[in-house]
């Protein structure tokens, strides 16, 4: 059984709630369901990678800089906090209309506002590559780290180059930058959908 199928059954087995969608069209819900499934799988893959590499790894160094046990513990705790919630208790609201902002968080843990530009496949992200499944799932991880209950990250910069620069020059800033966590989650194996 694929990991995604197991995680999809968790809410049913545990009796917890299900993800909710507000002001979303059927097409938007379909896109979000795929993104949430992939973001959940990649978040659990990130946890597995971190737990298998408690003293650091090349991928950790790429996105979080020189290894630090304290930073490692914060990142691992964060992924463990939000991974089970992305597809079970999070609430996704599609009423935001914006040509620039992709998504924002609400004032309550799990409230994510997905803006109209998120669903526009013609948008070219800052990395200069056409949007793909990884850009779509990374938004979910990115937003999850913004919650104060998780890491309370900010947006110091976006894209591969900025994230790698933060990791190299200021690892603490890398851990506080939401996009670094999204990039890390995308890069950890497995890479398939």
Could you tell me the CATH number of the domain that includes residue 52?
3.40.390.10
Is 53 a domain residue? yes
Q: pLDDT, tens digit, for every residue of 147-178?
A: 999 999 999 999 999 999 999 999 999 999 99
Q: Examine residue 190 and say whether the peptide bond preceding it is cis (omega within 30 degrees of 0).
A: yes
Angle between helices 26-52 and 133-146 (to 10 degrees): 70
49 assigned to some structural domain: yes
Query: Tokens for 193?
Result: 């959908």
Which residues have C-beta within 8 Å of that of residue 168, sequence separation ≥ 6? 65
Structural domain range at position 128: 18-187
Model confidence pLDDT, tens digit, residues 121-152: 665 444 444 456 677 889 999 999 999 999 99
Residue 107 lies in a domain: yes
Mean pLDDT of 178-187: 96
Predicted TM-score (pTM) of this structure: 0.85
């Amino acid at each position: 059984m694929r990991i995604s199928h197991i995680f999809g059954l968790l809410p049913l087995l545990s009796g917890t709630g299900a993800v909710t969608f507000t002001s979303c069209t059927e097409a938007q819900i379909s896109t979000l369901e795929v993104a949430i499934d992939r973001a959940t799988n990649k978040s659990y893959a990130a946890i597995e990678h971190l737990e298998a590499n408690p003293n650091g790894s090349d991928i950790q160094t790429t996105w979080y800089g020189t290894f630090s046990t304290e930073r490692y513990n914060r990142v691992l705790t964060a992924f463990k906090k939000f991974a089970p919630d992305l597809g079970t208790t999070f609430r996704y609201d599609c009423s935001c209309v914006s040509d620039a902002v992709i998504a924002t968080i609400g004032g309550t843990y799990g409230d994510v506002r997905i803006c109209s530009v998120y669903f526009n496949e013609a948008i070219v992200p800052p990395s200069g590559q056409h949007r793909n499944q990884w850009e779509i799932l990374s938004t979910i991880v990115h937003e999850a780290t913004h919650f104060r209950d998780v890491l309370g990250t900010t947006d110091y910069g976006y894209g591969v180059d900025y994230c790698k620069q933060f990791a190299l020059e200021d690892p603490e800033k890398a851990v506080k930058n939401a996009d670094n966590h999204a990039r890390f989650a995308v890069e950890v194996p497995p890479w398939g959908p």
